[in-house]
Every structure is written in structure tokens, then in C-alpha cells.
Amino acid sequence: MTKHILTVDQFDVGEVERLFQMSDEINQKIDQKREKELLRTLPGNILFSFFCEESTRTRFSFETAGMLLGMHVIGTENAKKFSSMVKGESLRHSIRTMCELRANAIVLRHSTEGSAKEAAEIADPYGVSILNAGDGKGEHPSQALLDIYTIRNSFDKLENLAVACGGDLANGRTVRSLVRMLSSYDDISFRFFSPRELQMKQDVLDHLEKHGKRWRVCKTMEEALKGADVIYWTRSQLERFTSWQKIGRYFRALFAGNGKYIIGKHEMETWVKPDAILMHPLPIKDEIEAGVDNDSRSKYFEQVKNGLLVRMALLKYCLQ
């Protein structure tokens, strides 16, 4: 059976922990010259990385993951411009082409929700794995896994945590995937803090209700941050807004005036617990001040580091 990574809903807690144990093992080897060689367990396998939307971390980290596993990696930096997409080719034909070229796995980022699932329907009969690297406003499962891996390593547990999510919760696929996936763990509660127009969408809230999770919408930064164990902040996803007028309105709602949604040194000192962690999927625009980067509670570059381990584990999970 061909394995794909399409949505966080496909994993149960046990499977996630097995992936994390694989990531731990990779972590022990990755910085040692001799041990690193032992990681090359997928030699000769071909990985296509097909990115139809901008990316720095996800693309580099999947491509590095493939290389460290000994795979051949072929990528387009901007498929929207440098592939036949520009000539109007359908996603289905692009995917089929990569399958015919003997791909073993395809990492796909696309602006349309559901595109990874559509690609998997094409690739499945070929035995080619699709890894969803972000499908529009939909999901970003590898990011949710690396985020949860970071939380697990920071607290040594994944239960009994208060999670505050802020920024653009309506359009941010990372935070949507994270909240969905965390709802499988016991005694996790959520606080959401965003402009009214950018609130967490109903499908995620329904998912929380279904899993009996507590959540509330906060009116102030103080209410969101005080007492939270995990703070997960996001940028406004301007590229998803449909008109410039809206962009202006939302942007002002997020950042103008008193900087209602910006976390700076003052917020860290006043409201964030000493043992809390501050996470962000990156890129950060204005929503976290640069002065916070070196606060020991800021984990966003640790998330990047963990992303490589988790994505190596995901490629192994799909292909071995």
C-alpha cells in the first residue's frame, strides 16, 4: 500500500510517537560524521519537490532531508513560473509526468485546498508517495508534526497544556493543522486571539467540540498569554486575501495602532510564564519583535531544526 502524508487526521497518537522516536534516533546520528553515513537508507530513491507557492523552510528542509537519506532530489524553485503550469498544464498531468519519470515521492505545495489529495489519487497506482507541504488554506501536516515534536521535547509531555494561538487563525494552515492534531491529546485547552475577521474557522472549532476540548476566544493579549504553556503566533496571510481593500483593513486590524497583536519584550516580560514556550511557523513579519528572538523561551529556530528530523522520519515512514 502506498503511504502518503496528506492530513493530520490520518495519524493516531501511537503513530505520531513512533515518528517522534524515529526523529530522536535521527537526531542522535545527524551530527556525527560516521553515524551520519548510516542515515543514507534511501539511496537511489527519487524525490521530486514541486512547489507552486513560495517557501524557504519547508522546501529546503524536505530537500535536505531527502539528500541526507541518500535520495536524488529534483526540485522546482517556483513551479508557477518554471514548470508547464505556466502554460496551463493541470496538476494531474504534472503529477503523472513525475510518476512516469520514476519518482518515489513527491513533495507538493499548492495554493488549492485539497490539491495534495488530488495528487495522491493520481500517484497512488504508481506506488508514488505524496507529501503535502501545504495546500492553500487547508493543511500543513509536516509542520504540525514538527511543532508537536518541539512541544514534546520542551515539556516532556503532550498532555495538560494550555495553548494560546494568535494572529491570522482563519487563513493560517499551520495553526489549523496544529490545533486539529493536538486535540488528540488529553487535557489540552486552547485560547484564540485574532481580529474578528481572522478567527479560527468553524471546522476546527467543531473538531475541538467533537474531541471534548475546551477553547475560548480572548479579547486581549494579556488574557491570551497569561498562564499559557505554549504560545503559537502566526503572521497575517496576506496572499490569501482577495482584495487590496481587505488587505488594508486586516493589516490595520492586526498591527496598527497599539500593536495589539505584536509580541515584544514587554509582553514577554509581563505576561509570558518563565517556563512557557513561544512558537511560530515562520516567516515572521511584524507580529513578533526581533528583540524576542534570543529569549530562551523562543523556539522558532528549534522548530526549524526539528523540521529536518521529522521530515526525514516522514520520508522513511513513506518509503521504507
Q: Give whichever of 46 and 151 is closer to ligand NCD, judged by the CB atom.
A: 151
The rounded radius of gyration (Å) of the Cα atoms in the chain is 20
CA dist 50 → 60, 113, 304 (Å) = 12, 16, 20
> Smallest Cα–Cα separation from 272: which of 136, 198, 124, 164?
164
In this structure, what is the dihedral angle of CA atoms 152, 154, 159, 165, given to the nearest 10 degrees?
A: -100
User: Min. distance of Cβ 75 from ligand NCD in angstroms?
Assistant: 15
- Chosen residue from 4, 110, 140, 299 binding ligand NCD by CB under 6 A: 140
Does 143 sit near ligand NCD (CB under 6 A)?
yes
Strand ranges inside 59-98, DSSP E: 72-76
User: Min. distance of Cβ 32 from ligand NCD in angstroms?
Assistant: 27
Q: Give whichever of 123 and 279 is closer to ligand NCD, judged by the CB atom.
A: 279
Does 281 sit near ligand NCD (CB under 6 A)?
yes
Does 150 sit near ligand NCD (CB under 6 A)?
no
Binding region for ligand NCD (CB under 6 A) out of 82-90, 97-105, 180-188, 277-285: 277-285
Q: Give whichever of 240 and 273 is closer to ligand NCD, judged by the CB atom.
A: 240
Surface-to-core class of residue 264, CB atoms within 10 Å of its CB (0-12 exposed, 13-18 middle, 19+ buried) = middle
Q: How far is CA 6 from the centre of its chain?
A: 12
Q: Give whichever of 112 and 189 is closer to ligand NCD, judged by the CB atom.
A: 112
Distance, CA of 193 to CA of 223 (rounded, Å): 9
Does 134 sit near ligand NCD (CB under 6 A)?
yes
Site of interaction with ligand NCD (CB under 6 A): 57-58, 134, 140, 143, 173-174, 235, 237, 281-283
